[in-house]
Structure 1
Amino acid sequence: MQTGHMRVLSENIANANSTAKTPGGDPYGRKIAIFNPILPDSDENPVGRVARDTAEFRSVYDPSNAVADSKGIVKLPNIDMTVESSKLQEMIRSYELNLNASSSIDKVNQATLDLLR
């Protein structure tokens, strides 16, 4: 259920320090997973679509860089590694909690069956 969200976060982390392909061009833009509400037992992917973050790109002065503009400014992606990492950790913890809850439900169901025998 979280695979789409994990894919978006992984792409953002992988491209956090990438630059544009052409001088003065725009680098990779941060992606955001937009979730759709779904029913609990649905097979649908909750990530309805992926949107681009409209925040400003980071910029650094590096006139020696091949993709620097005429003023020596290089645009970097609008990705904050702290935010992306914390979202990934949050997603991992959520997954672990879901596994633990599922295991607990299985144990309760088994105990109920044992009592009924």
Structure 2
Amino acid sequence: MGDLSASLEISASGLRAQAQRLRHTSENIANTDTPGYRRKTVSFKDVAGAGEIGGVRTGRVQLDRSDPVRIYDPNHPLADDSGHYDGSNVDLVVEIADAREAQRSYEANLKIFDQARQMSAGLLELLRR
């Protein structure tokens, strides 16, 4: 039964990590047109170690260091003397691909969680007999 509960904990950690990744991807998509906005990324860390069951944990949120897009609009309130201002550095295509990947990873972890739960229920049913 310990292995089944460990698999539940590992898949739950994956669910939490992918949910946070989706949250940041959603923020990036929402701020695509926000001047000066920097894309947020989140890294994953393996928590398997001494005495730990395993799984994944999210690291610190980091801002993308790539240069923002320079936009020409002399009527914009943030425009400089040349008529340019800094847009965001969010690429919508990349964000949609990241969201799709995170969604599929979330679904895979959910499927593992459900399988472990069903196996636990089956084991308990066998033990009751």
Q: TM-score category by the smaller chain?
A: 0.7 to 0.9
The aligned counterpart of 2:65 is: 54
User: What letter corresponds to residue 99 of structure 2 in structure 1?
Assistant: L
Aligned mate of 2:79, from 52, 68, 73:
68
Residue 3 of structure 2: aligned partner? none
Question: Which runs of no fewer than 5 residues in structure 2 stay unpaired?
Answer: 1-15
1:29-74 Cα distance to aligned partner (Å, 9 max, x none):
111112222137469x722211111111112211111111111112
Structure 1 counterpart of 2:30: 14
> What is the identity percentage for the equivalent residue pairs of Structure 1 and Structure 2?
33
Q: What is the deviation of 1:81?
A: 0.9
Alpha-carbon contact 2:69-2:89 (below 8 Å) kept: yes
Structure 1: runs of 5 or more not aligned: 20-26
Using the alignment, how far apart are the partners of 2:105 and 2:83 within structure 1? Answer: 43
Shift of residue 108, structure 1, vs aligned partner: 3.0
TM-score (structure 1 length as normaliser): 0.77
Match of 1:34 in 2: 43
Backbone CA RMSD of aligned residues: 2.3
Aligned residues: 109
Counterpart amino acid of 1:66? P
Q: Flag the 1:4–1:110 CA change in 2: closer, same or farther, 3 A.
A: closer
Shift of 1:114: 4.0
Q: Which moved more, 1:94-103 or 1:3-12?
A: 3-12
* TM norm structure 2: 0.70
Shift of 1:115: 4.4
Per residue, is there more helix in 1 or in 2? 2
Instruction: Report 1 or 2 for greater relative contact order, CA contacts < 8 Å, sequence distance ≥ 6.
Output: 2
